[in-house]
Structure 1
Amino acid sequence: MTKPRADQRLVDLGLAESKTRAQALILGGHVFLGDRKVDKAGQAVAADAVLTVKGRDHPWVSRGGVKLAHGLDHFAWDVAGVTAIDVGSSTGGFTDVLLTRGAAHVFAVDSGTNQLAWKLREDARVTVLEQTNARALTAHEIPVPVDLIVCDASFIGLAKVLATPLTFAKPGAWLLALIKPQFEAGRGEVGKGGVVRDPEIHARVCAEVAAWLTGQGWTVHGTTTSPITGPEGNVEFLIAASLERLADQADGQRDDGEVEPEGDQAVDQRDAP
């Protein structure tokens, strides 16, 4: 009899809502078989194996929420009452943060399926747009102009994935997007395991994204290093911008414009709930 994978066993036990979330838990070092940490999602375990989840250190449905919460705090943005698009919503870490902080509505867009946490699916403030290509969004999916766009996308550069979502922003809208150097840099600049370690490349790709946003009519207010790294240890950055900087917003925003890829904010933690 074939033994189940550890990630599937977590789902079977009701300890994770999806295999994606189970994999994130395992990568984050939160899953144990007895006293032993399970460090591979594909590890074979007994069909009756008793797995436990330990050490959750944040309230969000995934560790992605830690990244967005940091960005909102860093730029002192209050999202109460906003209507937002979450590009690359996945399990829903970003959406969870927005709702917890009072967002009126979130359009959760993802090309995958059955990833969004159940509690978010049931929330009337969420429109679930799964199996939806963000590059092909129309007014049918996003029927109203939005106040905020957040983005945590993988395997694609921000200029490609955000070009269409940005067209739904109303004047004064904000953008907070995660820059992942491994998906912005050239092939020859990405090292073993898909990791970009060169701080000069980090700074360059952040500058390139900022220049692209400026070319789209957005005002860039700066970048900040994510407090946790991505899978395999990639350092990531949050970039903040607005479509039209309103006078009553300007005084409350931080505009340091610096990339500090080697700062002690970035710690070696995976994107696990």
Structure 2
Amino acid sequence: MKERLDVLLVKKGILKSREKAKVVIMAGDVFVDGQREDKAGSMFDDSADITLLGNPIPYVSRGGLKLEKAMKQFCLDLSDRICMDVGSSTGGFTDCMLQNGALFVYAVDVGRGQLDWGLRNDPKVRCMEKTNIRYVVPEDIDRKPSFVSIDVSFISLTKVLLPVYNLMEKEGEVVCLIKPQFEAGREKVQKKGVVRDPAVHEEVIQKVMDYARTIDFSLCDLDFSPIKGPEGNIEYLLHLAKTGHPHDREELPVKEVVAGAHKELDK
């Protein structure tokens, strides 16, 4: 009897969930009887020889790799912390938080039915789907988060950071993903929503940082995401802190980070 490839990966115990299986398959990391397969719905016999290329993504989606890098580069410790994942989608960031010791995670997203089934049923996760972070107030959550990740699309971070600031614990931290295609003016966005100009990248990063300062966030650190977003856009990781006494550790190396991103990711 033939079954879907994503189902077989779970049935054989190779991966834990169909959501994770789909991510690995789409990444081109699955081989069936020696042939690469990139369609989760492809049908195969139960006896098919299925192997994975290299190390599969350890999270339910590639998004977890972005937060993983931020945690390493910014020396973040999430042990026993209340966290919030804004723009949770499948839950890659949420998964990364839990695997790194988070006590509890609010998974917030305007969509519905996207969060990985295992995370949705995890007692350490509260699925807040069909929820726009701009309208969430402190009374909507039981405990204030001390760490928040933000990975949103089709909206500028300048519309999201203040609501997040108001929900957080004092001394809380934020890692937000700066996506040039949603921060730059329309005239600077190319076909398919791509922004390639390093100068525009520098401009939008500075715009987000300047706004963060105006609402009393401290600028802590900056780096680029280890993977590109949809359509090949380079994205950036900005580390902020709600200190109560805003200050910047130092002038963040915007130009150097942008140059490093293009050198590494535009190979």
TM-score range, shorter chain: 0.7 to 0.9
Q: CA RMSD in A?
A: 3.2
Cα distance change on mapping 1:24 and 1:58 into 2, 3 Å: closer
- TM-score normalised according to structure 2 size: 0.81
Are the counterparts in 1 of residues 222 and 238 from structure 2 also a CA contact under 8 Å? yes
Deviation sequence 1:143-174 (CA, Å, 0-9, x none): 32221111111121111233322211121011
Deviation sequence 1:22-80 (CA, Å, 0-9, x none): 66445422355665545578xx8569898967334331111111110111111111111
Q: Which residue in 1 is equivalent to 2:100?
A: 101
The residue matched to 2:140 in structure 1 has which SS? coil
In the alignment, is residue 262 of structure 1 matched against residue 230 of structure 2?
Answer: no
Where do 1:203-222 residues align within 5 Å? 203-222=202-221
Q: Which residue in 2 is equivalent to 1:54?
A: 52
Q: Which residue in 2 is equivalent to 1:4?
A: none
- TM-score normalised according to structure 1 size: 0.80
The residue matched to 1:106 in structure 2 has which SS? strand
Q: Which residue in 2 is equivalent to 1:5?
A: none
Cα distance change on mapping 1:256 and 1:217 into 2, 3 Å: closer
The residue matched to 1:65 in structure 2 has which SS? helix
User: 2:139, 2:192 → 1: CA distance?
Assistant: 39
Cα distance change on mapping 1:99 and 1:186 into 2, 3 Å: same
The residue matched to 1:170 in structure 2 has which SS? coil
Are the counterparts in 2 of residues 80 and 102 from structure 1 also a CA contact under 8 Å? yes
In the alignment, is residue 72 of structure 1 matched against residue 71 of structure 2?
Answer: yes
The residue matched to 1:95 in structure 2 has which SS? helix
The residue matched to 1:163 in structure 2 has which SS? helix
Where do 1:1-273 residues align within 5 Å? 9=4, 24-31=23-30, 35-38=34-37, 54-55=52-53, 56-244=55-243, 257-259=252-254, 260-263=257-260, 266-267=264-265
Are the counterparts in 2 of residues 174 and 241 from structure 1 also a CA contact under 8 Å? yes
User: 2:250, 2:122 → 1: CA distance?
Assistant: 34
Give the percent of matched residue pairs that are identical in Structure 1 and Structure 2.
Answer: 38
User: 1:57, 1:255 → 2: CA distance?
Assistant: 37
Are the counterparts in 1 of residues 138 and 166 from structure 2 also a CA contact under 8 Å? no
User: 2:66, 2:173 → 1: CA distance?
Assistant: 16
Greater helix proportion? 2
Are the counterparts in 1 of residues 170 and 242 from structure 2 also a CA contact under 8 Å? yes
User: 1:140, 1:48 → 2: CA distance?
Assistant: 52
Are the counterparts in 1 of residues 155 and 182 from structure 2 also a CA contact under 8 Å? yes
Are the counterparts in 2 of residues 106 and 127 from structure 1 also a CA contact under 8 Å? yes
> One-letter code of the match for 1:258?
P
Cα distance change on mapping 1:22 and 1:156 into 2, 3 Å: farther
Are the counterparts in 2 of residues 235 and 266 from structure 1 also a CA contact under 8 Å? no
